[in-house]
């Protein structure tokens, strides 16, 4: 019986069961790999597939993206969340476009905004088809279970150990297939909950499985409850148009279009009084969760006559837009929820 090798077992499994038809799995196209890697951060493949093709159709090359205005880019990311990713991608694409070539080594990729060690490794491996090592959530989970590592992997000392293990296992031959394979194994078999150990090529050698620890590993910190914040949303409309404001380019929902949001109740009341808004014609409430807090938003709807619109615009800024037009310009998911709640 031949000696077990982690990479050989993984690649044999990948050849039969791996994902080979993802739209960014294109040789000699680092740009598509780059866009996909950024989209896939904190986001599942099935969600990214809904956005990737549309984004690439609009920004087909790194030059197209790097020379575009942010206002053109934002609508194509709206709904994916974690908008700092998109702003960094846009900024980095501008740098690459001005340089006239993609980085050729790990350090070059890591010098760009929004690219850390693991993403840079993926771009070396999948984008340039050179040697690269990754350490995303899938890889951490596979390795932590295979070696029954019970340490807190969020601590730098233990993360360094994981990188060392990953580098020792990662082959130079078929490196790009190995990179995709270990991500696929984590995403489809060695899943966070209820891993499908029966179908895993590592089952006979997986220490966590042998010890019955696969459900407990990798180590998870007890999550602190996220704070709940509340705010009021000012929905001012005529028969067809609503007043929308563009958010500042930095911070939450940077550069996207939103209905005015006011977090202080007294400030909201004073604003309504100053604008002569007294008759609430509709109310709607939604809850939207972020990584670091949950937002309870209450929308109060006011209808104004045409001769009052310019005064409101002068006070609040923004634009009068139909909801579908604002949607096309790029609005966050919470605003889509509010539109649905109001239009029911």
Give the pLDDT confidence of 215-233 residue by residue, as tens digits: 999 988 777 888 999 999 9
State the pLDDT at residue 343: 73
Is residue 309 within 8 Å of 235, Cβ to Cβ?
A: no
Q: How confident is the model at residue 162 (pLDDT cuts 50, 70, 90)?
A: very high
pTM of the model: 0.81
State the pLDDT at residue 249: 78
State the pLDDT at residue 344: 52
Highest averaged pLDDT of the listed ranges 41-50, 174-183, 270-279: 174-183
For residue range 106-123, what is the model confidence (pLDDT) as tens digits? 999 999 999 999 999 999
What is the DSSP track for 208-268? HHHHT-TTT-S--PPPPPPPEEEEEEEEEE-SS-EEEEEPPSSSTTTT-EE--EE--HHHH
Range(s) of the chain covered by CATH 3.90.79.10: 228-343
State the pLDDT at residue 27: 73
State the pLDDT at residue 6: 97
CA distance 45 to 332: 20
Q: Is the CATH number of domain 6-211 1.10.8.420? A: no
Task: Please state the CATH superfamily assignment of the domain spanning residues 228-343 in this structure.
Answer: Nucleoside Triphosphate Pyrophosphohydrolase (3.90.79.10)
Q: How confident is the model at residue 238 (pLDDT cuts 50, 70, 90)?
A: confident
Indicate which residue of 37, 107, 263, 303 is catalytic: 37
State the pLDDT at residue 183: 95
Is the pLDDT at 250 greater than 80? The verdict is: no
For residue range 261-320, what is the model confidence (pLDDT) as tens digits? 999 999 999 999 999 888 889 999 999 998 889 999 999 999 988 888 888 888 899 999
What is the DSSP track for 281-336? -EEEEEEEE-SS-EEEEEEEEEE--HHHHHHHHHHH-SEEE-HHHHHHH---HHHH
37 a catalytic residue: yes
Q: How high is the mean pLDDT of the chain?
A: 92
Highest averaged pLDDT of the listed ranges 70-84, 125-139, 292-306: 125-139
How far is CA 194 from each of CA 13, 18, 126, 219, 220, rounded to the nearest angstrom?
20, 19, 29, 15, 15
Q: What are the helix and strand counts (H, E) for the chain? A: 16, 7
State the pLDDT at residue 254: 80
Only one residue has tokens 């509010």, namely 338
Range(s) of the chain covered by CATH 1.10.340.30: 6-211
């Amino acid at each position: 019986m031949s000696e077990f090798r982690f990479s050989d077992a993984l690649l044999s499994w990948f050849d039969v069961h791996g994902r080979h038809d993802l739209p960014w799995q294109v040789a000699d196209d680092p740009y598509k790999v780059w866009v996909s890697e950024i989209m896939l951060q904190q986001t599942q493949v099935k969600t990214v597939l809904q956005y990737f093709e549309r984004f690439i159709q609009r920004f087909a090359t790194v030059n197209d993206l790097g020379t575009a205005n942010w206002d053109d880019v934002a609508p194509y990311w709206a709904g994916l969340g974690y908008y700092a990713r998109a702003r960094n991608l846009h900024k980095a694409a501008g740098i690459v476009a001005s340089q006239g070539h993609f980085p050729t080594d790990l350090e070059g990729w890591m010098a760009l905004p929004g690219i850390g060690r693991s993403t840079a490794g993926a771009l070396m491996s999948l984008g340039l088809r050179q040697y690269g090592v990754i350490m995303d959530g899938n890889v951490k989970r596979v390795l932590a279970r295979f070696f029954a590592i019970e340490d807190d992997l969020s601590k730098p000392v233990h993360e360094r150990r994981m990188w060392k293990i990953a580098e020792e296992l990662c082959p130079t031959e078929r490196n790009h297939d190995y990179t995709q394979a270990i991500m696929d194994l984590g995403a489809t078999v060695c899943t966070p909950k209820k891993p499908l150990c029966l179908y895993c090529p590592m089952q006979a050698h997986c220490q966590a499985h042998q010890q019955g620890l696969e459900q407990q590993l990798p180590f998870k910190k007890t999550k602190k409850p996220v704070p709940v914040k509340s705010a009021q949303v000012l929905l001012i409309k005529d028969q067809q148009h609503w007043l929308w404001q563009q958010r500042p380019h930095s911070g939450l929902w940077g550069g996207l279009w939103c209905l005015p949001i006011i977090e202080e109740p007294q400030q909201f009341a004073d604003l309504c009084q100053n604008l002569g808004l007294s008759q609430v014609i509709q109310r709607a409430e939604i809850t939207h969760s972020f990584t670091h807090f949950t937002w309870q938003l209450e929308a109060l709807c006011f209808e104004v006559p045409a001769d009052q619109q310019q005064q409101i615009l002068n006070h609040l800024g923004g634009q009068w837009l139909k909801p579908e037009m604002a949607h096309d310009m790029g609005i966050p998911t919470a605003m889509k929820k509010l539109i649905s709640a109001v239009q029911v």
